[in-house]
Chains A and B, each alone.
Chain A
Amino acid sequence: MAYIGVSKARHGALTTAGQPIPSLVQIQALVDTGASCTCIDPSVLNSLGLTPTGIVTVNTPSTGTQPHTALQYDVSILIPGALPTHVPLIVDNIAVVAAQLLAAQGFQALIGRDILAQCLLTYNGQMDEFTLAF
């Protein structure tokens, strides 16, 4: 589980403009070491009223041999600790790629290596578990 909100920078601009700040959106996210960047479903980005602030080139199995262009949005991401007393991981300003994820897979975001680079990820295959420390 994670929470997505407007970036800290956009938060300031909305406040200055006297516009309401969209509430954080609770989502299911998948830790994906195969993703170089964090991806979020457009439905989540739309619900935050975001406009794009970046463009990147992306390779996925669905794009075949030709990389595709994708929009980036600046957001904030909060990943809670395992217990309420644990300090959460908060990323105030991060560019995420808008990618339509299969709803049937049950998540709205891929936590990519850009965020994992700030964590210690341990995979224990024999115990069938992983830990993410931050």
Chain B
Amino acid sequence: MPLEKELETYKKKLPELKTLEGKFVLIHDEQVVDTFSSYEDAIKEGYSKFKLEPFLVKRISSIEQVQSISRFVEPRITT
């Protein structure tokens, strides 16, 4: 799955990130780069620092937020 390493880093670092609940974290490979107040700032910094290389932007949440879609769709983990 794409971003598997970054997701693993997020899970590993979550205990330290918990104090920043609600902010957006930028992760590249095994490195937590920074946190941001908005998604927009995080994604801009991601592209600015890592260009077109893979990076992860994720909202920090001690309890994983679940998105809900009432319509019948198939969420994709690959494209």
User: Which positions in A face B, CB cutoff 8 Å?
Assistant: 7, 9-10, 12-14, 16-17, 19, 32, 34-37, 39, 42, 45-46, 50-63, 67-71, 74, 92-95, 97-102, 110, 112
Tell me which of A74, A102, A112 contacts B72 (CB under 8 A).
A102
Please name all residues of chain A whose beta carbon is closer than 8 Å to the beta carbon of B69 when the two chains form the complex: 32, 34-37, 39, 58-60, 97, 99, 110, 112
Q: Are the CB atoms of B2 and A60 closer together than 8 Å?
A: no
Interface size on B, residues (CB 8 A): 34
Docked CA distance A84–B28 (Å): 42
Min Cβ gap B63→A in Å is 11
Q: Report yes or no: A51 in contact with B52, Cβ–Cβ below 8 A.
A: yes
Known: A58-B68, A61-B70, A95-B39. A100 touches B76 (CB 8 A): yes
With CB as the reference atom, state the residue of chain B lying closest to A42. Answer: B79
**Can you offer 29 A-B residue contacts whose CB atoms are under 8 A?**
A12-B44, A13-B48, A13-B51, A19-B52, A32-B70, A34-B69, A51-B54, A52-B3, A53-B56, A53-B57, A54-B56, A55-B56, A56-B65, A57-B67, A58-B67, A58-B68, A60-B68, A61-B72, A62-B72, A67-B66, A69-B77, A93-B40, A95-B43, A97-B69, A100-B73, A100-B75, A102-B73, A110-B71, A110-B73
Q: Kindly list chain B residues whose C-beta atoms are within 8 Å of the C-beta of A71.
A: 2-3, 76-79
Closest A residue by C-beta to B73? A99
